[in-house]
Amino acid sequence: MIPKSHPRYESLLLRDKMVKASKEGYLADSAMIAHGRGEAFDYLIGEKTTYPAKRAMYVAVAALLLSNNPVISVNGNATALAINEIIELAESVGAKIEINLFYRTDERVKIITQLYKNQGYKDILGTLDDDIEYLNDIKNNRATASKTGIYSADTILIPLEDGDRAEILKKSGKNILTIDLNPLSRTSKMSDVSIMDNIVRAIPFMTKIAEDLKTQDKKVLIELVNEFDNEENLKESLEQIKLKE
């Protein structure tokens, strides 16, 4: 048990979740490395949600609410850190959830499917029984997509995504939203809206934003999306990284 008074309490709690997930067998071998990279960036922004991240979250939620077929793509890391929060956000914005693994194996897909079902979420896509298609006719595991989910989606939220996969999604003409603590990653640069924040803070905050934006006129949401400049916002995000005390 980590004492709550520990100065690194929150961060250690997340490490514990990752270790547990790893033992349960649904993380890729490189998952811890990806988590560590995220931790380093989080440290440098003071482990707090920054203003540019908040701005990007408003835009991302507006985009999800305006979409016809929005999908939240989940991998092992996202599931380990924020499964319940992801389900809540999906329900709030009317998005589907799809399992989307860079290193897709039947075993990992099976475990993750069961985890969502255990939380009472039955409609998970990208499962072993799902109708899987290939994006842009790329016949490899990095391009798989559920026919009713990512394959036909107009907007996809891809938290903690790898650059190769993000590129395939982007090239297929989708509106791409990401949550990635690294503002320099290929995924952040390639996305239409990049939220430089920890998934554990970002997702619940986005659900709160959704409750607010759902009461607003559609015109307000369209304006939010149209006025946003991701490149500019990423520059501002980078400026939040502090290398001095």
Q: If you count DSSP H runs as helices and E runs as strands, how many of each does the chain have, helices first?
A: 10, 7
How far apart CA 195 and CA 178 sit, in angstroms, is 6
Between 41 and 58, CB nearer to ligand ATP: 41
The 119-158 contact track toward ligand ATP, x by CB under 6 A, reads ----------------------------------------
Exactly one of 18, 21, 34, 66 binds ligand ATP (CB under 6 A); that residue is 34
Closest CB to ligand ATP belongs to which residue? 38
CB 157 within 8 A of CB 60: yes
H or E element in which residue 202 lies = helix 199-213
Contacts with ligand ATP: how many residues (CB under 6 A)? 18
CB of 78 to ligand ATP, least distance (A): 8
Q: Does 56 bind ligand ATP (CB under 6 A)?
A: no
SS3 content of the chain, % helix, strand, coil (to 5): 55, 10, 35
Q: Does 41 bind ligand ATP (CB under 6 A)?
A: yes
Angle at 22 between CA 120 and CA 101, to 5 degrees: 65
Stretch that binds ligand ATP, among 85-93, 115-123, 145-153, 177-185 (CB under 6 A): 177-185
Distances (CA, A) of 149 to 56, 71, 113, 146: 23, 6, 15, 5
Q: Does 185 bind ligand ATP (CB under 6 A)?
A: yes
CB 99 within 8 A of CB 131: no
Between 66 and 98, CB nearer to ligand ATP: 98
Stretch that binds ligand ATP, among 49-57, 63-71, 183-191, 226-234 (CB under 6 A): 183-191
Exactly one of 66, 199, 210, 234 binds ligand ATP (CB under 6 A); that residue is 199
3-class secondary structure for 156-187? Answer: EECCCCCHHHHHHHHHCCCEEEEECCCCCCHH
Q: Does 163 bind ligand ATP (CB under 6 A)?
A: yes
Exactly one of 17, 35, 170, 174 binds ligand ATP (CB under 6 A); that residue is 35
How far apart CA 119 and CA 57 sit, in angstroms, is 25
Q: Does 180 bind ligand ATP (CB under 6 A)?
A: yes
- Kindly list the residues in this chain that would bind ligand ATP in the complex (CB under 6 A): 34-35, 37-38, 41, 81, 160, 162-163, 179-182, 185-187, 198-199
